[in-house]
Structure 1
Amino acid sequence: MRFRLSALTGFFSLALSAPQANAQADAAKELPAVTVTSEYQGSFKANTVQVGTFRDASPLDVPQTSNVITREVLDAQGANTLFGALRNTAGVTRAQLNGSTFDNIAIRGIFVENRSNYRLNGSLPVVNLLDIPLENKERVEVLKGASSLYYGFVPPSGIVNLVTKRAGKAPVSNLTVSANQHGGANIHADLGRRFGGEQQFGVRVNLLEGREDIGIDNFSGDRSLAAVAFDWRASDKLSFKLDFERYRKNVSEQAAIAVPAAVGGKVTLPGVPDARRNLAGEWQKFDAEASNLLFRADYALNDNWAVLFEAGKARIERERNFSQFQNYNLATGQGTLRIFFNRAQEWENENYRTELSGRLPGQWMTHELALGFATNERSQNPGTSSLADVPQNLYTPLTVAERSPGIASGPNRSTIKDTGWYLFDRISFGEQWQVMLGVRGSRYESVTSSTRYQAKELNPAAALMYKPTHRMSLYGSYLEGVEETGFAPGNRANAGELLPPALSRQTEIGIKAEVAQGILFQAAYFDIKRPSTTVDSGNRFVLNGLAQYQGVELAASGEVTKNLSLIASLLFLEAKQLNAANAATFGKTPDNTPERTASLFAEYRLPTVPGLALSGGIYYVGKRPVNNENQAFVDSYATLSLGARHTTVIGGKRTTFQAVVDNVTDKNYWSTAGNGLLGVGAPRTLKVTAKVEF
């Protein structure tokens, strides 16, 4: 679905011409002059978490590391991509791809599975094989570690939850125009209203149309978004929510660079290419469209008990001309660009959940219970694929003439069905002690044209929490998870093969506290053991025993003073493979896993210049091995971002102007590794934005 700018602005004008908007416009003519002050209305700290069994819980009551990137942080940074948001959390790195089309992400060195670990409003597993837009999202959350109790077969990297904007008490009519120095530009309309005799209906609409350019050679494209969030309070006991979003992206895809073959057990990497260099042709498009639909109904049985029902469907259709540069000579740069023509690719997720939750009060012990049943079916049609090899040079790129797909191989369709029930009990002893117990029974089945797996699992979860004050909690937890071990990537001999599911275990101890003016501080030690994968001598993607991830993670977010906000994170990680049967990888660090990551972003609102805020951020990722044998490492890197925004009143309308520069030093660096591929970070980018609140 595509939207022209005239249609988008026409909708915005039509919305403002509604009676309510006219009434507001008339009233505005009679209002006195508005003075913009430096008073800060939002927060870098979230008061609740909206993911898993901890929906609506305070972060202090969650016995796992959780990070929330609020709308205020996203706006202050001008972030509109997943990696742009998640770089504010410890342990997040790009994986395999450099982000020119969508963000492949790993957390704590563990890949975030693209079909199960990304959730919409804590429920629907959306398919992250196309950039998920953030313009209609209120915040992005990460619940790190094993999450199988609520979400079934998922890797213990963590759940990334995207919470949509909804209509609030105050009407919203915002128009935002943004552009970067490379030629990219967007226009975005955000409209929210409540209506009805008792304001029982709410609608939030987001529309976006944009031209894409990220500052690399041979790149062009566009994207669009249409999203609506509807809610209805039918009565004091019954309410409904409906979310629908449809988005599209059609852009050139930057070529990946293959890791050279090892010589004498060592890999020699090429120098980091210029960030603007693209070895692929502009005609090599990534054309994808996604739609997500989620319905939820809540009914209060009485003051202590309620039921919910959720149903949702996510779908992506995609055609792709991906390429990787390989078999090259380090001295001359001469090599081969292998182009993969993928046609008629489809992914579809259907998700259903019903849950009974309630409270059993007692004189000295209180139970908060949740009993639920969920089923998720994921189907994949990888479409047809073919490939072509053309000469290319790393140092002096050649123009890649447009090619047509060759003889295509047939599809290898697959279906995964993950069904389970779960029971969770939070037992409170007074105000200081909590014991959390949970269990999930799962039935898993995966079917491809060549393989079939079935598994039944019963997995426990337990946590103990002590709260010496209402602003501090100490906890210890043990979680078991079951996970899919993944599909073989497209550049492997067994491409598309689904590996069997496996068990992971996690222990964590931590402390959370609210300090200063409103800073949420978190510190945790974690120990995760999970299945490991590798590439064998036949270029097959296979299981490779276990890997262990141990680390200490620190995080802080919120307001230091009324004028200074920050969000910061730090991770010390030790990861190693425990596969004694494979001497080449035993004791080595899993590929693309850094020992250190850190981030710090702060915004200062100048009290002497009302409405003006200055910001800066630094993001660090340590060195990472390019393969499981640790035959080479990409260097560590740090990027710097600077920004300023000023809010004033023009023509009676609150208006914000903003400028953000990412990668201020225009550093060239390897931004990603994994699966035998390397990617280069984005060049320096200046983004300017103007937002008018009608």
Structure 2
Amino acid sequence: MKSRPRWARTPCASLVCPFSTAVLLSFAAPAFADDATALPEVNVTATQQQSELATPSSSGALGSRKVIDTPFSQTVVSGQDMADRQVRKLGDIFAADASVSDNSDANSAWASYLTVRGLQLDWQNGYKIDGLPFIGYGVNLPYEQFDHVELLKGLSGFMYGFGAPGGVVNYVTKKAEGTPVRSIDIGYTNDSVLTEHADIGQRFGEGNMFGARVNYTHEGGDTVTGGHTNRNSVSVALDAQLTDRLSTWFNMLNQQRRSDNQPASLSFATYQGSGMPGTVPGDTSNLNSDGQHLYTGLQLYTAGVQYQLTPDWRLSTRYSYSESTRDRNESTLYLNDASGSYSDYRWIGKEANRFNYWDAMAEGKAQTGAISHQITAGASWQQQANYYGANAFYGLLGTGNIYAANSNSMGDLAGLKTYHDSDITQKALFASDTLGFGEHWSVLAGLRYTNYEQNSFSASGASTASYDKNGVTSPTVALMYKFDPATTAYASYVESLEQGSTVGSTYANAGAMLKPLSSKQYELGFKHDSSVFSTTAALFRIERGAEYGNADNVYVQDGMSVFQGVELAGTWRVNPQWEVGGSLMGLKTWYGEGSSNRGNRVAGAPEWIAAGQVQYKVAGVAGLKIGLDGKYTGNTMITPTGSLNAAGYAVFNLGAVYNLRAGAYDYTLRAGIDNLANREYWEFQYANYVKAGDPRTVSLNAAVSF
């Protein structure tokens, strides 16, 4: 599946989205015009869509705050925006954000890979649904079932606990609203993928105290690369306002997805060439081989209770359980040289992850003299259990060349099982206070205190390695200045920890469990939002501990990788018809201190990315808007050794959305062409891995609301 048109309304690039097409107007007659004449009361209303900078977002241990009131870089993309752009993979969602590089593939185990500020998200800790964790590896979620998606850029240690410093993606589910929802839509993507989606929700009971929202999606057909996909997804959101103070909720998401004959990934781990091989078309079937598949399952159940203790204080507690499964029959094509020859290695096995999470939190406001306080305090517990292939197969199938059809094949093996490979447990206390000094100045101070334990087991159940550390602290501090309610400047400092690796079987110290890695982030930022112009800017520096295999084939922790850069974004509403936006990131990275790759650029971190978009609401045709957008990704280092560099590339997309009402129903028609010029390019996926860039793709969608 390919990237969707990124234009339908101004995409949320690096925090930025303007107010949407209409502004709520309320006119009430004054009490008197003069002593003799009283004006009649007139009320005029129009729909307003909230600016993303003004949107409350989940900030983990900070609770819920408007984006413009946080001292961090964030992007929020609305469900309407995702629907209009017909996104099909995670990279599509943040396509207009220059700080984000797409590493994803809708039909493979790379489905949820992203690079943010040159750092890849943590597949174990970088993904949340409604702020609650799940394992996102290999899972391509049903994006049409989410109200919006949030991206917190950079370190998240205080907010969410252990995690790599790339950031956190949080999917927010659709919930029952005051107005009933009844909608059905049908979509088409070439080669022949059809999607059917239904969304039904309403409130009911005395005083509308109960709410229910149900979404169902089916997708199936042949993909543009010659594979096949089939997906069934259902989500349910229930809530109840039991009293004026007590509310509760329960959410469920269940998805089963099958991808067959999908393209293999390309690896440069054993490459002997001196330069990159020539690109292949994005719709090639040469990288497919018989027997390949990825079957994934996701179950997520979450529940919570909230009690409004006083007008200024509330208590809440939440619990979630998730289970993700993967049945994989996948090839990796290890390239040998620039002519495109490879060795085809196949992995066949099953995997699973289970995640239990609980937290309790108190949020409130207080005043001590002239200083105001916005306080959050709480506790959390989580346990992640990993299950890997007990009798997985890995071996050489044969050889081939990326410019010719792959004749290698291998079907499934009988009796595949998993074993309990490892557990990771975290127990944490956290607290923060945002101290306000008058109208303009405020200081945020927060601290997370964590007890961390990690254990590994053999297939027979015997303990093979363990690591635990108590009293791990993750602080954050920030200074903020509010010029006015719509303009914020800030300086922030964050520390974070991520779990260390369990060393793989190919290294001399196989099975060793490395200690957690530390990271630090320094950031200066500015945010401004108005109905005409919105802009953000950030300067940042991130220092991350490094892991790598040394010359003695020992996997070690040594040195650090450094990421420093600038983000700029802006949106200008020229007039009611025209809207223009852009985003830019300049980035300098290197491996520092003791690393054996010292001085090299970090793999996967482009030196700069630029994105732009223009949207036109056609005068004289109410409800019709067309748009063009483009994104240039600079050259990207593929290998940590600095030996291979993929060329930069630009991709342009064109599309249209037409909203109309006929009879008693509202209709929306959508069409898009992605990669308009059918540009061929190599897309970075992971250190030493690339895929063929997505080809020109046509997508259509028709929706009806009733």
Give the distance between the partners of 1:203 and 1:441, measured in 2 at CA: 37
1:272 and 2:283 are equivalent in the alignment: no
Deviation by residue 1:235-274 (Cα, 9 ceiling, x = unmatched): 11111121110011100231011216465xx732211112
User: For residue 613 of structure 1, what is the amino acid of its counterpart?
Assistant: K
Deviation by residue 1:312-337 (Cα, 9 ceiling, x = unmatched): 01111110011111253544x44321
CA contact (8 A) 1:64 1:477 kept: yes
Q: Say which of 669, 678, 692 aligns to 1:657.
A: 669
Match of 2:346 in 1: 339
Give the distance between the partners of 1:409 and 1:649, measured in 2 at CA: 54
CA contact (8 A) 2:63 2:363 kept: no
Match of 1:122 in 2: 131
User: For residue 201 of structure 1, what is the amino acid of its counterpart?
Assistant: F
Alpha-carbon distance, 1:362 to partner: 4.3
Q: Say which of 43, 55, 58 aligns to 1:48.
A: 55
CA contact (8 A) 2:521 2:543 kept: yes
Give the distance between the partners of 1:190 and 1:494, measured in 2 at CA: 52
Structure 1 stretches lacking a partner, 5+ long: 1-38
CA contact (8 A) 1:212 1:223 kept: no
Q: Say which of 544, 567, 584 aligns to 1:530.
A: 544
Match of 1:20 in 2: none
1:645 and 2:652 are equivalent in the alignment: no
Deviation by residue 1:145-179 (Cα, 9 ceiling, x = unmatched): 11111211111111111111111111110000000
Match of 2:4 in 1: none
Alpha-carbon distance, 1:520 to partner: 3.4
Give the distance between the partners of 2:347 and 2:310, measured in 1 at CA: 57
SS in 2 for 1:301: strand
Give the distance between the partners of 1:494 and 1:371, measured in 2 at CA: 41
Give the distance between the partners of 1:191 and 1:618, measured in 2 at CA: 35
| CA-atom RMSD in angstroms | 2.5
Deviation by residue 1:67-104 (Cα, 9 ceiling, x = unmatched): 11122321331224211102222322244868645121
SS in 1 for 2:546: strand
Alpha-carbon distance, 1:356 to partner: 1.1
Give the distance between the partners of 1:150 and 1:118, measured in 2 at CA: 13
Match of 1:365 in 2: 371
1:342-421 equivalences under 5 Å are 342-343=349-350, 345-384=351-390, 385-389=392-396, 390-405=398-413, 411=419, 413-421=421-429
Alpha-carbon distance, 1:112 to partner: 0.5
Give the distance between the partners of 1:608 and 1:539, measured in 2 at CA: 68
Deviation by residue 1:575-607 (Cα, 9 ceiling, x = unmatched): 11113352xx10111111111122223432223
Q: Say which of 231, 241, 254 aligns to 2:249.
A: 241
1:555 and 2:607 are equivalent in the alignment: no
Match of 1:514 in 2: 529
1:304 and 2:312 are equivalent in the alignment: yes
Out of 374-383 and 69-78, give the one that drifted further.
69-78
Give the distance between the partners of 1:594 and 1:373, measured in 2 at CA: 38
Q: Say which of 567, 574, 591 aligns to 2:588.
A: 574
Q: Say which of 590, 594, 598 aligns to 2:602.
A: 590
User: For residue 679 of structure 1, what is the amino acid of its counterpart?
Assistant: K
Alpha-carbon distance, 1:565 to partner: 4.6
Deviation by residue 1:179-236 (Cα, 9 ceiling, x = unmatched): 012101100000110111101111111001110443103x012011100111111111
User: For residue 307 of structure 2, what is the amino acid of its counterpart?
Assistant: Y
Distance of aligned partners of 1:400 and 1:460 in 2 relative to their CA distance in 1, 3 Å threshold: same
Q: Say which of 87, 91, 106 aligns to 1:83.
A: 91
Alpha-carbon distance, 1:518 to partner: 4.8
Percent of aligned positions with the same letter in both sequences?
Answer: 24
Q: Say which of 484, 494, 497 aligns to 1:469.
A: 484
Q: Say which of 427, 432, 436 aligns to 2:435.
A: 427
Distance of aligned partners of 1:128 and 1:534 in 2 relative to their CA distance in 1, 3 Å threshold: same
Match of 2:518 in 1: 503
SS in 1 for 2:80: helix
SS in 1 for 2:93: helix
Structure 2 stretches lacking a partner, 5+ long: 1-45, 458-463
Out of 409-418 and 521-530, give the one that drifted further.
409-418
Match of 2:42 in 1: none
User: For residue 346 of structure 2, what is the amino acid of its counterpart?
Assistant: I
Alpha-carbon distance, 1:672 to partner: 1.4
Alpha-carbon distance, 1:542 to partner: 4.2
Give the distance between the partners of 2:52 and 2:318, measured in 1 at CA: 28
Give the distance between the partners of 1:303 and 1:475, measured in 2 at CA: 29
SS in 1 for 2:57: coil
Alpha-carbon distance, 1:138 to partner: 0.9
Alpha-carbon distance, 1:662 to partner: 1.0
Match of 1:135 in 2: 144
Match of 1:31 in 2: none
1:618 and 2:630 are equivalent in the alignment: yes
The TM-score normalised by the length of structure 1 is 0.88
Out of 496-505 and 477-486, give the one that drifted further.
496-505
Give the distance between the partners of 2:139 and 2:51, measured in 1 at CA: 27
CA contact (8 A) 2:95 2:102 kept: no
Match of 2:695 in 1: 683
The TM-score normalised by the length of structure 2 is 0.87
1:93 and 2:101 are equivalent in the alignment: yes
Q: Say which of 208, 229, 235 aligns to 1:227.
A: 235
Match of 1:13 in 2: none
Distance of aligned partners of 1:474 and 1:405 in 2 relative to their CA distance in 1, 3 Å threshold: same
Distance of aligned partners of 1:196 and 1:406 in 2 relative to their CA distance in 1, 3 Å threshold: closer
